[in-house]
Amino acid sequence: MSEYQLEVSGLIQEFPRPDGAALRVLDGLDLRVRPGEFTAVIGPSGSGKSTLFNIVAGLDRPIAGEVRVDGRIATGYSAQVAYMPQKDLLFPWRTVEANAALGLEVQGVPKREARARVRPLFGEFGLEGFERSYPAQLSGGMRQRAALLRTVAMGRPVLLLDEPFGALDSLTRTQMQLWLAETWQRHGWTIVLVTHDVREAVLLADSVHVLSPRPARVVARFDADLPRPRTAATFQLPEFARLEQAVLNALGLKDHASRILRMPDTSSDRTET
């Protein structure tokens, strides 16, 4: 049995350009995540973070390298990970309960059983009383919690979160980050988070992996040895500031005080040049 829940080894990925040349997006990328570890991946826009997630989620196959989950080959398979994309992708015609149960239903769980499984989670996710509501009746933060509930309910070993709070306003984003930190600590999920927000990465993660510009590889890894539970007071710790600056330095942003590298980019790595 491997000591790692997720192992990404030597991933290389290329896509064709309009001129017929190959655009290399990943260049021998390696990533290791232990069971129950919260890992953040951060890098410049267009560096290949979405491509990495698509491969780990089994939506794409690399031209070289492999993905293992619990020591078993998972390249090209989606049954071992649950993927929450940037947008909540809640179906407007389904209730919140029906949306939360959708992942289980897709796996073949009968509708009644799927909804019974997700129902006990609504209180913990701050959605109790909204089971019969529709997405349009929820705030942005509540929609993201519903999308995360759907992801968690699938019961997969690894959760992939792609900029889950990027579209929220600053206050709501901070509230959601602190809520996720608290909820993760209770459950000990294995999470890989892609973000453009350095402070988010440092606040939430046990380890922060910094990617190079495209073609991406991991150029630095930092252990976030900050006390848990992580709270609003964590932002004020001297070690938080030191780690934040170290990550910024690794990104080539020395003495840069900005919280956000740039606004989240919703376009695919395939289309960026």
pLDDT > 70: what percent of the chain? 92
- Beta strands, E only, 81-211: 81-84, 158-162, 190-195, 207-211
* Interval 182-198: pLDDT, tens: 999 999 899 999 998 99
Band of the pLDDT at 268, cuts 50, 70, 90? Answer: very low
What are the residues whose beta carbons fall under 8 Å from the beta carbon of 259, sequence distance 6 or more? 197, 198, 199
Q: Is 237 a domain residue? A: yes
Q: Apex CA 80: angle with CA 16 and CA 25, to 5°?
A: 20
* Interval 29-65: pLDDT, tens: 999 999 999 999 998 887 888 899 999 988 899 999 9
CATH code, domain carrying 266: 3.40.50.300
Model's pTM, two decimal places? 0.87
Proportion of the chain in helix, strand, coil states, percent, rounded to 5: 35, 25, 40
Q: Is 134 a domain residue? A: no
Contact 243, 226 (CB under 8 A): yes
pLDDT of residue 261: 44
* Interval 81-104: pLDDT, tens: 999 988 888 999 999 999 999 999
Candidates 9, 8, 12, 7; CA nearest to 215 is 12
* Interval 103-132: pLDDT, tens: 999 889 999 999 999 999 999 999 999 999
pLDDT of residue 250: 93
pLDDT of residue 19: 84
* Interval 220-264: pLDDT, tens: 999 999 999 999 999 999 999 999 999 999 998 765 444 444 434
- Write the secondary structure of 21-78 as one string of H (helix), E (strand) and C (coil): CEEEEEEEEEEEECCCCEEEEECCCCCCHHHHHHHHCCCCCCCEEEEEECCEECCCCC
Band of the pLDDT at 1, cuts 50, 70, 90? Answer: low
pLDDT of residue 273: 31
| 167/68: higher pLDDT | 68
Q: Is 249 a domain residue? A: yes
pLDDT of residue 159: 94
Query: What is the span of the domain harbouring residue 52?
Result: 6-80+156-271
Q: Is 204 a domain residue? A: yes
Structural domains counted in the chain = 1
pLDDT > 90: what percent of the chain? 66
| 78/149: higher pLDDT | 149
Candidates 199, 179, 183; CA nearest to 258 is 199
pLDDT of residue 254: 65
Contact 67, 86 (CB under 8 A): no
Q: Is 87 a domain residue? A: no
Q: Is 121 a domain residue? A: no
pLDDT of residue 79: 78
Q: Is 92 a domain residue? A: no
Instruction: Indicate whether 269 pLDDT > 60.
Output: no
pLDDT of residue 255: 56
